[in-house]
Amino acid sequence: MSDSSPRIDRADTPEGPCALPRGRWGAAELGTRAQWRALASQLADLPPDARLGWDLRGLQWLDHVGAQLLWNHWGQAWPQRLALSDGQRAMLERIASLTTPAPSTEPWRLADQVDRLGVLVLHGVDHARHLLLLVGQLLLDSVRLVRAPRRAPWRDVSGHLYRMGATALPITALVGFLIGVVLAYLMSLQLRQFGAEAFIVNILGISLIRELGPMLGAILVAGRSGSAITAQIGVMRVTEELDAMRVMGIPHGFRLVLPRALALALAMPLISVWTTLAALAGGMLAADLAMGISPAYFFHALPAAVGFGNLTLALSKSVVFGTLIALIGCHWGLRVKPNTQSLGEGTTASVVTSITMVIIVDALFAVAFKNVGFS
């Protein structure tokens, strides 16, 4: 150890034991992990004690980092016996004046936890009430659309159909294809042990058409289009376009919520079928390479293995998924406050809520229609 290395020596004086810091106590020396650990170990062996004195006059260098380290070790109080130079005292006094005590931790109380739970419940009820209002307004706007279809915002609907549906086809096809390949390879390893390679068509068909295809497409759309809906409406809040629409008498539900909900309700079944076909193509390719099951056998056995009810259930779920994703995205977008932080928080909450809702609704469909498609 060199003479400039930060260290602590000990000596016995007539007044009692004394700690003698030596070397250079600066940011350059204490910035290395080895030096920091060695000095921290020495300080741990010197617990704060009223009988222990400190003599800093042997230090070669002391800056704010070293002074802060000493001040924290002393418990942010001056030792009873302290010898130091005028410059060292000035630096320690500056550290002492700028150091703020750590906030005291509040004791755990059941009443506080109940209060926090109550606040969360009230927030959840408020969000549920606003979402229910959006659903009711959507139904009223749908009646208005049926009564006067010529006055409907069809141009907005077609634009959202393209942005949320057509532009989502490449990513959904890629992810669906890879999911199909992975599932086929994993199942081939298990089915080969029992000589049941032919049942891979049944497993892939049921899992992809009934469950994974619609849910995977909905999750991708929730992360892609749900966040975009929230961001678009949130920016309109920041730029005060929503207030301008209200002043001009343009209803938010008919011009903002209805086109997006209608577009996603139409696009999601198509995206679901597209994702399922891509996943089946990946599974078919993997089954051919891993198990020697030809695509011809796959096409022949798939209609017999998967009933028509599974496809009907998948399309029905997709319509519900698309409507819910659009409503949740609009809900969080309309609740954005006119600042960028709220916009980011709303977009994040929209994606998380949409994906969670998709999984919950899919589980409810699985339980409610457990006998559909298997007869």
Q: Which of 194-198, 247-251, 316-320 is most confident?
A: 316-320
Residue 68 CB partners (closer than 8 Å, separation 6+): 95, 99
Is residue 106 scored above 80 in pLDDT?
Answer: no
The number of beta carbons lying within 10 Å of the beta carbon of residue 244 is 11
pLDDT at 48 over 70: no
Bridge partner residues of 53 (DSSP): 18
Please answer whether residues 11 and 18 qualify as being in contact, where contact means their C-beta atoms are separated by less than 8 angstroms: yes
Q: Where is 61: in which H helix or E strand? A: strand 59-62
Cα–Cα distance, 333 to 239 (Å, whole number): 13
Name the residue with higher pLDDT: 91 or 139.
139
Q: Mean pLDDT, the chain, as a whole number?
A: 86
pTM score above 0.95: no
Q: Which residue has the tokens 């990513």?
A: 171
Eight-class DSSP state of 100: -
With a cut of 70, say whether residue 1 has pLDDT above it: no
Per-domain residue ranges for the chain?
7-98, 119-368
Instruction: List the single range of 102-106, 132-136, 178-182, 329-333 with lowest mean pLDDT.
Output: 102-106
Please, which pLDDT band fits residue 35 given cuts at 50, 70 and 90?
confident
CB-CB contact of 280 with 202 (8 Å): no
Pick the CATH number of 7-98 from 3.40.50, 3.30.750, 2.40.50, 1.10.10: 3.30.750
The string of pLDDT tens digits covering residues 344-370 is 899 999 999 999 999 999 999 988 888
Across 31-40, 154-163, 268-277, 317-326, least confident range: 31-40
pLDDT tens, residue by residue, 211-226: 889 999 999 999 989 9
pLDDT confidence of residue 207: 87
Burial class (CB in 10 A: 0-12, 13-18, 19+), 109: exposed
